[in-house]
Amino acid sequence: MQTIKTLDLNLLKALNALLDERNVTRAAEKLSVSQPAMSGMLTRLRDSFNDPLFIRTQHGILPADRALGLAIPVKQILEQAQGLLAEPEFDPASAELKINIAASDYAMRTIVTPFLAALHHQAPNIQVNITLFNPRSIQEDLERGTLDFVLTTSEQAPDNLHTRALFDEHYVCAVRTDHPVLQHGQLDLATFCALQHVIALSEHTINNTPARALADIGINRRVSVQNALALPDIVRHSDLCAVTPYRLIAGQTDISHFPPPVNILGFTTTLVWHERTQRNPAHQWLRDLIVQSCQQT
DNA sequence: ATACTCTTTCAGTTCCATTG
DNA sequence: CAATGGAACTGAAAGAGTAT
């Protein structure tokens, strides 16, 4: 049966030093080992290669043909081994990779959109695949690598994953700017309850707090939509009043907003990722870019 | 022959992975 | 977790080769 020979990487370092110095004592000093230790390594090298490798001379040792033939490949192997220990560098401009992001409908608009704009500018060769997030499979998808980032709320982020808070969001009531209710001035609870309401209600939306808050004050007659992104358009073209995260209607001149007459808890948008990618330089850079994108909106 | 330099060998020790 | 065994280390001493 053929036995498989093994070779300690330290022996290659010794061989390299012996080839460079052509002297056991100096080679030992170079590697900070004692001279007998270096002699022992030379013995093991001779055993491993089944060749004398060096011939003793008056002032040191002379490499035999076999040792001379090993000089270049040994240096290449040692350089490659050194390369394994070096910190991997990440250059956004030239990086080519694919990332998978799951986001709530709300996060698509408020986080993913500005992030993609910044990403396209700084790292044009990074491909992004965006899916609607499923709160039941966040953990599994991040573990398996089918997802790299999840954008959700702090409440929905599993405890054993890495998270980073992005920004705090609050709810407002939104109606079209020429809505008759705005002529009443201050909006009291009774007027609010008398309105027709629309809310986003699905497991994929950012938060179902508004539905519970409206139910608490007896508002059950309402329109619900699966996708929170539909709210601004619905409000714009109807008399409906939407209880919506502020950032979904911010800056839209044909939509007016006012504080809800009941207390509706806001939420903290959160970036979630797995330990698997925690130290990956590319992912570290991407996480920072997501945070920066949120701060600029 | 002697001194010098360098390599090799030996005995003891330490470290570390494996095993029960 | 202690016992065990192998690998590799160290310092000391011996051996080999060469110049004077």
CATH of the domain at A139: 3.40.190.10
Cα A40 to chain centroid, rounded: 49
**Å between A66 CA and B18 C1'?**
36
Question: Domain ends where: A37, A57, A84?
Answer: A84
Q: What is the mean pLDDT of residues A143-168?
A: 88
A57 and A189 share one domain:
no
- Do A109 and A52 belong together in one domain? no
Q: pLDDT band for position A203 (50/70/90)?
A: low
In this structure, the answer to whether residues A156 and A273 fall within a common structural domain is: yes
Q: How far apart are CA A8 and CA A262, in angstroms?
A: 72
Residue A160 domain-assigned (yes or no): yes
DSSP characters over A64-109: -HHHHHHHHHHHHHHHHHHHHHSPPP--TTT--EEEEEEE-HHHII
**Band of residue A236 on the pLDDT scale cut at 50, 70, 90:** very high
Chain A window 210-269: residues with CB closer than 7 Å to nucleic chain C are: none
> Which nucleotides along chain B are within 7 A of a protein C-beta?
5-10
Say yes or no: A186 and A55 in one domain. Answer: no
Note whether A157 and A237 are same-domain residues. Answer: no
Cβ of A36 near strand B (under 7 Å)? The reply is yes
User: In the sheet where A267-273 sits, what is the strand order?
Assistant: A126-132, A97-103, A149-153, A267-273, A162-169
Number of folded domains in chain A? 3
- A293 pLDDT above the threshold of 60: yes
Within this chain, do residues A107 and A121 fall inside the same structural domain, yes or no? yes
Claim to verify: residue A259 and residue A291 sit in the same structural domain: no
Question: Is the model's pLDDT at A278 over the cut of 80?
Answer: yes
Indicate the residue among A59, A84, A109 that finishes a domain.
A84
Which residues does residue A223 pair with via DSSP β-bridges, in sequence order?
Answer: A198
User: Could you tell me what percent of chain A has a pLDDT over 70?
Assistant: 85
pLDDT of res. A138: 85
Mean pLDDT of A245-256: 92
My answer on whether A246 and A290 are in the same domain is no
Sequence letter at residue A168 = D
- Of A83-87, A125-129, A167-171, A211-215, the least confident: A83-87
Residues 54-113 of A with CB under 7 A from strand C: 56-58
- pLDDT tens readout for residues A36-64: 677 777 777 776 777 777 776 656 677 77
Residue A254 has pLDDT above 70, yes or no: yes
Same domain, A164 and A250: no
Residues A158 and A272 both lie in one domain: yes
Considering only CA atoms, which of A292, A268, A247, A290 is closest in space to residue A128?
Answer: A290
Per-residue confidence (pLDDT) for residue A193, from 0 to 100: 86
Q: What is the pLDDT of residue A4?
A: 39
Cα radius of gyration rounded to whole Å, chain A: 33
Contact A297, A114 (CB under 8 A): yes
For the whole model, what pTM was predicted? 0.67
Q: How many residues does chain A have?
A: 297
Q: Mean per-residue pLDDT for A200-213?
A: 69
Q: What is the domain extent for residue A23?
A: 4-84
Indicate the average pLDDT of chain A. Answer: 82
Q: Is the CB of A41 under 7 A from strand B?
A: no
On strand C, nucleotides with any atom < 7 Å from a protein CB are 8-13, 17-19
Q: For strand B, is any atom closer than 7 Å to the CB of A57?
A: no
Q: Is residue A163 part of a domain?
A: yes
Report which of residues A3 and A210 the model is more confident about.
A210
Instruction: Work out the average pLDDT over A175-181.
Output: 90
Task: Supply the pLDDT for residue A3.
Answer: 38
Res A147: pLDDT = 93
Does the nearest atom of strand C lie within 7 Å of A41's Cβ? yes
**Domain annotation covers residue A282:** yes
Instruction: Please check whether residues A49 and A130 belong to one and the same domain.
Output: no
